[in-house]
Amino acid sequence: MADEYPDRQSLAEIEATIGSIKKMLAVGAVFAAVGYLLIGAALFFELTSFHPLLENFFASFPDTSLAGGSGGTRGGAVNATLAAIHKWPSTLLWLKLGGVGHILVGIFIALGAIVRALSVMPHRLSYEMERAQE
């Protein structure tokens, strides 16, 4: 049972695997970078467009709620402002969820690369031990 070791991989196979691991890490880094850009864009738009729009609405129409209810009749300006406000949360949610999804995919790919690197380590170690004994 102890003498049934798997054959060790050739140096060319190990180098090819290391090359594919580097590609996997690069792809994972790209996914993570895109995710961070999406989340950064969501925060940027929220702070520069959405919050000022809310502050302007509450300053201009203090007796109207965001849900659209008010004590009297509403004009076109109130409806246009409410429509502009109501379109932002779905855009911000899409950017944030897309960013988190990209980051998680990048982490998953990087973890796959780590597992592949760990599977190659015994083969590389055997070559290094052989070289050290010479």
* Digit-coded pLDDT (tens) for 18-41: 999 999 999 999 999 999 999 999
The pLDDT, as a whole number, for residue 127 is 80
Cα distances from 23 to residues 86, 107, 108, in angstroms, run: 42, 14, 14
Q: What's the pTM?
A: 0.74
What's the N-to-C CA distance of the chain in angstroms?
28
- Asked whether residue 110 carries a pLDDT value surpassing 80, the answer given is yes
State pLDDT tens for residues 111-134. 999 999 998 888 888 888 888 887
State pLDDT tens for residues 53-109. 989 988 888 777 777 665 556 677 887 888 888 888 888 899 999 999 999 999 999
The pLDDT, as a whole number, for residue 57 is 87
Distance of alpha carbon 62 from alpha carbon 41, whole angstroms: 30
The pLDDT, as a whole number, for residue 65 is 78
The pLDDT, as a whole number, for residue 33 is 96
